[in-house]
Amino acid sequence: MQLMQCDLETYLQEDSGCYAREVTWAHRQPYEPLQKPIAQLIAGLSALHKAGFTHRDLRPKNILLDGDGSLKIGDFGISKHVIDGLKTKIIDVPEIWGYSAPEIIKAEASPLQTYSPKVDIWSLGCIVYRMLMGERLFTNLDDVRRNHGSKVESLKSITCKRGDVTKLDVNFLQCLLCEEQERRMNADEARQHSWFSAFDASC
């Protein structure tokens, strides 16, 4: 059995003495492009979804790192079998975190709300944002409920605030964090995004 060193939540925090601050992937791995760990997560999601399952609780706490910095998806406790190509009615609403897709949040109020494996893609988008920016896109449950639309809209202005974030970074995030699940990329489409082009060319 492969030994994992820690979870991504712990890895993306740095103890500065009095408190732990959140840091970017580039801070932890300055010579490792972000595309590498994200490609690993997408490969895991693609295999999971093709097997007919949706994770439903993808967040840094449930992603594990080994000694080489490779990522593995863990904690499949609330994963659910979903028929490929069909939306599934949300009967049991999973606990909502800052990484939950809008359709999961809407299920609190609407018993007829449906979802697909693309809820995991939204969660992946929140994780990419965290690793890229060194902060959470949504800080708590209330933030998700109230602001998921406006915060996704604000992604387009990131490049004005951070010189190290490119337009391609923003486009990839927007494709992952598309509010309409019908228009959101699936795992295989995400892996084919041009955000990976330079990384694939260097491999």
Share of the chain above pLDDT 90, in %: 38
- Sequence-ordered strand ranges (E) for the chain: 4-7, 13-15, 20-22, 53-54, 63-66, 71-73, 80-81, 88-89, 114-115
84 annotated active-site:
no
- The string of pLDDT tens digits covering residues 161-181 is 777 889 999 999 999 999 888
| Per-residue pLDDT at 27 exceeds 50 | yes
- The string of pLDDT tens digits covering residues 55-78 is 989 999 999 998 787 899 998 888
pLDDT at 91: 47
Say which CATH topology domain 34-75+88-202 has. Transferase(Phosphotransferase); domain 1 (1.10.510)
| Per-residue pLDDT at 84 exceeds 60 | no
- Highest-pLDDT range among 3-7, 66-70, 132-136, 188-192: 188-192
Instruction: Answer with the residue of higher pLDDT: 45 or 154.
Output: 45
Domain map (residue ranges) of the chain: 34-75+88-202
> Which residue type does 154 have?
S
Q: ∠ at Cα 132 (131, 137), nearest 5°? A: 75
DSSP tag of 118: T
pLDDT at 171: 94
Catalytic residue among 57, 75, 142, 188: 57
pLDDT at 55: 92
- Axis crossing angle, helix 119-133 with helix 35-50, rounded to the nearest 10: 170
pTM exceeds 0.85 for this model: yes
